[in-house]
Amino acid sequence: MPQTWRWTLIPILIALALFAHAIPGAGFVADDAFNLSEHARHGDIAGEWFTPTYAHAGGARGHIWRPIPASIQHTAAIAFGRTGEVFRSINLVVHLLNVWLIMLAARRWGAHHKVAAMAAMLWTVHSSMPDAVCWSSDIYDLMATTAMLTGISLVGQASSSRKWPLLAFTVLLACLCKESSLALVPTLAILAAYRHGRKDGIWTGIATALGGGIYWLWHRLVTSQGYLDALSESTLAAIVDAWIMSFGWILSPPSRAYMAHIFDRSLDTQELWTGVAALVLLFVCAADLHRRYGRRAHMGAAVLCTGILLIPAAIGIPFIGVAPLRYIYMPMALFLTVSAATWPDAPRKRGSFMVFLFCALCAPTTAMRVSDFDNDLSLWSAELSAEPQNPYAAGSLARALIANNQADEGIAMWSEAIEKAPSGIRVFDRANEQWLLAQTAFMKGHPGTGLKQVTNLIDEAHQAGTTPPVMAHCLKADSLDALGRNDEASVAAKLCR
């Protein structure tokens, strides 16, 4: 028993070493400022359960409703304050819990305790971890993974009358953390059928479908919206390519901007082939292990279920237009947990050495990535350094520069980013960026840039048959007036509403 506990502590200590050092001084990055720094109804925790999550925080994000992580963050903010350190600490605690749950679930499935510990180590040193753990807003991925690992652990147990309601409740909890957790309904049913037979799989499917169904109805009541809009706006070919590409991240994280990479099928050929190679390699390994160990085909089941969990990511990537590496957090946890059960015996020394060597080589890169999340300047500088031509990263860095009193440099960078931005990127919508930059430039004493952006916005809206923002002509008139072009300003003012 003491030896088992020592092996259990190793991955947890590694995770602490990688992530805890960045908590002091941690700031808000990306959407944190919108999601966490303020709250429209501070103190109204119950409201998180009856209002779309970001609408309650002061915005309007329609179909997104994640009351469990929102309630926990809101409660922590009331108790300890709305600071980056508070929210980052919560993320790390949940991640450490997940590290432990990987080991617990793997052992419930029959893995040797050393193998389970090595699976958790491989997971927490993976280069995708900082993007999930260090972005405070992404707590929903972490907590959904907590529920998933609990479900995998329950599936590993023998059938009992108590297991089915627990599985239904676990799936409900996972969905209340993130909508895409509905993919756990078929995933856990398949794992149960593989582990205990068809009957257990059917009962698990019924139980998880009940939990998912309750969530689906509850979600509709709260948001009055569905969550499948992305299916109607993405082509099947794009979804398949995104799915293949994301599978490759398990074995070969890409060398590009992890958070801001723009999904482009014509330019992502290398990542697509990496995904194909990863799929082929994993199925070959699964077949070889099945041949060697008879019925122990855990890796094959892991690959299949990982593929199911990646379907929501594959749908979302073409929909939003970017391919963030954090989407692999939950699927990779399942893959390593179930695959670890292939080895119920103590690993050979050579295998253990290779795992520790791999972790030692990966850990410095992961630790350095953690520091990128100190603030927006460091994060988006790192993203732009990885992809110098990325307009989303450049636009985000430009905003950070303006917020840090470097308006001239920021406005110039933002203008260039808009010119390079392809259409169809929801997180960097060209029209919205033009409107925001036009207002910012005018207020920061750059009326020429403001005029250019608002004029382009109005012209492009007319060409597309859409309506520009209500105050666009007013801003155009003000910009012309500031440039001393008073006659043109008077003409523009006539269209101001």
| pLDDT mean over 463-491 | 85
Does 438 share its domain with 368?
no
28-32, 140-144, 294-298, 457-461, range with the lowest pLDDT: 294-298
Closest C-alpha to 97, from 79, 71, 72: 72
pLDDT tens digit sequence for 324-370: 999 999 999 999 999 999 888 888 888 888 888 988 888 888 988 99
User: What total of structural domains would you count in the chain?
Assistant: 2
* High-pLDDT (> 70) share of the chain, %: 96
Let me know if residue 379 belongs to a domain.
Answer: no
Q: What value does the mean pLDDT of the chain take?
A: 89
What one-character DSSP code corresponds to residue 40? T
Q: Assess if residue 14 is contained within a domain.
A: yes
Buried b (16+ CB within 10 A) or exposed e, 237-256: ebbebbbbbbbbbbeebbeb
pLDDT over 90 percentage in the chain = 51
Which has more pLDDT, 190 or 161? 190
Question: pLDDT-derived band of residue 273, with 50, 70 and 90 as boundaries?
Answer: very high
Q: How many CA atoms lie within 13 A of 71 on its CB side?
A: 15
Together in a domain, 67 and 157: yes
On whether residue 407 sits in a domain, the answer given is yes
Say if residue 364 is in the same domain as residue 398.
no
Residues 106 and 153 in one domain: yes
Q: What does 408-472 look like in DSSP terms, one character per residue?
A: HHHHHHHHHHHHHPPTT-GGG-HHHHHHHHHHHHHHTT-HHHHHHHHHHHHHHHHHHT----TTH
For residues 417 and 491, the model is more confident at: 417
What is the C-alpha to C-alpha distance for residues 447 and 458, in angstroms, rounded to an integer? 16
From 374, 409, 434, give the residue that closes a domain. 374
The tokens describing 458, both together, are 């109005």
413 and 310 within one domain: no
- 46-50: long-range contacts at Cβ-Cβ below 8 A with a sequence spacing of 24 or more? 48/74, 49/222, 50/222
Domain-embedded: residue 84: yes
All residues at 6 or more sequence positions from 387 whose CB lies less than 8 Å from its CB, including other chains: 256, 257, 260, 261, 393
Which 3 state secondary structure label does DSSP give 322? strand
Q: Are 22 and 88 in contact (CB under 8 A)?
A: yes
Distance CA 218, CA 220 (A): 5
362 and 398 belong to one structural domain: no
Highest average pLDDT, of 34-43, 214-223, 344-353, 419-428, comes from 214-223
H or E, element range at 385: helix 376-386
Residue 486's pLDDT band (boundaries 50, 70, 90)? confident
Angle (CA) 409-410-413 rounded to 5° is 85
- With respect to residue 385, please indicate whether it lies within any of the assigned structural domains: no
Instruction: State the Cα–Cα distance between residues 154 and 105, nearest whole angstrom.
Output: 8
Kindly state whether residue 39 falls inside one of the protein's structural domains. yes
Cβ contact 298:113 at 8 Å = no
CB atoms within 10 A of CB 264: 15
Range(s) of the domain holding residue 281: 2-374
Concatenated DSSP letters for 83-127?
-HHHHHHHHHHHHHHHHHHHHHHHHHTT--HHHHHHHHHHHHTST
3-class secondary structure, 368: helix
| N-to-C CA span, the chain | 75
Residue in 142, 153, 143 with CA at minimum distance from that of residue 111: 153
**Which contacts of 226-231 are long-range, i.e. CB under 8 A and separated by 24 or more positions?**
226/63, 227/63, 227/179, 229/63, 229/319, 230/315, 230/316, 230/318, 230/319, 231/315
Q: Are residues 290 and 411 in the same domain?
A: no
For residue range 167-214, list pLDDT tens digits in order: 999 999 999 999 999 999 999 999 999 988 889 999 999 999 999 999
Residue closest to 112 by CA, chosen among 358, 348, 357, 354: 348
Q: Are residues 173 and 304 in the same domain?
A: yes
Residue type at 362 in one-letter notation = C
In a domain, 381, yes or no: no
Stretch among 79-83, 117-121, 400-404, 419-423 having the lowest mean pLDDT:
419-423
320 and 428 co-located in one domain:
no
Are residue 18 and residue 83 in the same domain, yes or no?
yes
Residue 472: half-sphere exposure toward Cβ, Cα within 13 Å: 22
Grade residue 1 by pLDDT with cuts at 50, 70 and 90.
very low
- Answer whether 107's CB lies under 8 Å from 116's CB: yes
Question: 398 near 446, Cβ under 8 Å?
Answer: no
Boundary residue ending a domain (320, 343, 374): 374
Q: What does the chain come to in residues?
A: 497
Do the beta carbons of residue 170 and residue 213 sit within 8 Å?
no
- Between 36-40, 147-151, 266-270, the lowest mean confidence (pLDDT) is in 36-40
- Of 138, 149, 158, nearest to 336 by C-alpha is 149
Q: Which residue has the higher pLDDT, 234 or 433?
A: 433
Token pair 């520069």 is at which residue?
401
Same-domain check for residues 350 and 244: yes
Q: Across-strand partners of 262?
A: 322
User: The domain that contains 445 carries what CATH number?
Assistant: 1.25.40.10
Mapped onto helix, strand or coil, the DSSP state of residue 35 is helix
* 214 membership: H or E segment, kind and range: helix 198-223
Judgement on whether residues 489 and 356 belong to the same structural domain of the protein: no
Name the one residue in this structure whose structure tokens are 């179930």.
338
pLDDT of residue 7: 85
What pLDDT does residue 205 have? 94
24-33, 173-182, 407-416, range with the lowest pLDDT: 24-33
Residue 383 lies in a domain: no
Give the C-alpha separation, 42 to 393, whole Å: 31
Tens-digit pLDDT profile for residues 230-268: 566 678 888 999 999 999 998 878 888 999 999 988 888
pLDDT exceeds cutoff 80 at 423: no
Sign of the C-alpha dihedral computed for residues 431, 433, 438 and 443 taken in this order: positive
Confidence label for 73 from pLDDT (cuts 50, 70 and 90): very high
